[in-house]
Amino acid sequence: MNLIYQNITGFLLLSSIFTVSICSKNLKTDLVASDLSSVSEVNSLDSTGIFDPTHWKITFPLENPETGNALEVLNPDFTDYVLGNKAWPEELAKYFYTTNEGQAFKCEYSGVTTPNTHYSRTELREMVGADQHNWTLQDGGHLHGRLKVGDFKEGANKLFFMQIHGKEPSDKPLLKCIWEKGVIRLITKSGERLTDYKKGNNGKYNEIGEGEWFTCTIDVDTAKLIVKINDEIIETFDYEEVLQYWPSNNTYYFKAGNYLQDNTEGAAATVTYSELKVSHDNDTSTDLLNIENNNNLQFTKYPNPFSSETTIHFKLKTASKTNLSIYNRNGMKIKCLYANKMLQPGAHSIIWDGKDNSGISVASGIYFLLFEGVSASNTFKYCDKIVYIK
């Protein structure tokens, strides 16, 4: 499976046929589009290049004073914090922060839990817009991460680092990936009553030491659920074993981070991710992002996300017949900006106001800018993400 939510970090440091920059009128910045050196560190959707914050919300081991439940940060605030458009509040920054090794998820038992649980967490939950239940088994799901666990306190020795949950029944976990006392464990739910189901040696697999980097990959569809550690399959759960017992047309979501399994005062641990990517089979944006940008293009998209309008700047070296369009995640063209328009060499710009061809504002989410140019001597394409947040 290809990864669709790939982070395109910064811009390509190559000689260009044209240069593109995206500027939002409603996001404050002291930078100008031509100042490429100043935006190189903040230009990507995720400045660390580790994960796409627009795809997730995060839960903290802190109480929301308004609800009494665990505190959550949703988009667009979460993306703004990760991009540096807003400064993390100090009380949150101690649990979710970037190191020179990756993105750290620190969790300590605080007595604050989520419904139907007894433990605290610093954990991402998959979201697409406001949709908490994102995909079906027909869609398929792929989650890949590179991570390590460590910095355990007060005897803590167990945590969940990846999960799949289903909407029905009652947000039960389809899969729990567990690090416990230096061993990877897997637990799923099976049977008419969807109780814990383990294979292998009581669900125990690889030995992974504290502080040791490893990769975990989850692939699931209507036929099977596969888990890989360090690129080797450690377990396959077939349809007959597990998936047949889950409601048909159920919807699911991934979780990743640090769900600490200890309610001892002072218990704590840290999970650090250097990579976290997710994709789904029916999302044809895979094809868009896999367009081979092989014509020495430069691209900067700071600031991004936007909520009012975005100005797209580019520069052509030769006269070119140009198509410039916006696509949604399903590969549908929703806005045509240029259609076979002959443009002369030089600088050009055009505004997208977040509306489709019918003049209707699109939903918040990830969109794709596709540039196609044909000159007398060359044909070239470029595609990248634009994030619209109302």
Residue 327 near residue 321 (C-beta atoms within 8 A): no
Instruction: Give the pLDDT score at 291.
Output: 63
Taking only the tens of pLDDT, the chain with its 390 residues reads: 333 323 322 222 222 333 333 333 333 222 222 222 222 222 233 445 788 888 899 999 999 999 889 999 998 889 889 888 889 999 999 999 999 999 999 999 999 988 778 899 999 999 865 556 678 888 889 999 999 999 999 999 999 999 999 988 888 999 999 999 999 999 999 999 999 999 988 899 999 999 999 999 999 988 999 999 999 999 999 999 999 999 988 889 999 999 999 999 999 999 999 999 988 765 555 566 566 654 545 556 566 688 888 888 887 888 889 999 998 876 788 999 999 999 998 888 889 999 998 888 888 778 888 888 888 888 888 888 888 887
Q: Is 311 helix (H, G, I), strand (E, B) or coil?
A: strand
Instruction: Give the pLDDT score at 108.
Output: 96
Mean pLDDT, the chain, rounded, equals 81
Q: Two tokens at 3?
A: 């990864």
Instruction: Give the pLDDT score at 146.
Output: 97
Instruction: Give the pLDDT score at 200.
Output: 80
Q: Is 182 helix (H, G, I), strand (E, B) or coil?
A: coil
CB burial of residue 334 (10 Å; 0-12, 13-18, 19+) = middle
Core vs surface per residue 45-84: b (16+ CB within 10 A) or e: bbbbbbbbbbbbbbbbbbeeeeeeebbebebbebbbbbbe
CA nearest to 171, candidates 247, 225, 252: 252
DSSP 190-257: ETTTTEEE--TBTTEEEE--TT--EEEEEEE-SSEEEEEETTEEEEEEETTTTGGGSPTT--EEEEEE
Count other Cβ atoms within 10 Å, centred on residue 25: 14
Instruction: Give the pLDDT score at 161.
Output: 98
Instruction: Give the pLDDT score at 135.
Output: 85
Is the peptide bond between 61 and the residue preceding it cis, with omega within 30 degrees of 0? no
pLDDT digits (tens, 9 = 90+) for 238-282: 999 999 999 988 889 999 999 999 999 999 999 999 999 988 765
Is the peptide bond between 173 and the residue preceding it cis, with omega within 30 degrees of 0? no
Instruction: Give the pLDDT score at 114.
Output: 81
DSSP 43-70: -SSSTTSS--GGGEEEEEEEE-TTTSSE
Residue with tokens 């840290």: 270
Q: Domains (ranges, CATH) in the chain?
A: 19-45+285-388 (2.60.40.4070), 53-279 (2.60.120.200)
183-190 and 158-166 strand pairing: unpaired
Q: pTM, whole model, 2 decimals?
A: 0.66
CA distance linking residue 60 with residue 96, whole number of Å: 9
Instruction: Give the pLDDT score at 122.
Output: 97
Q: Two tokens at 230?
A: 């360090």
Instruction: Give the pLDDT score at 329.
Output: 74
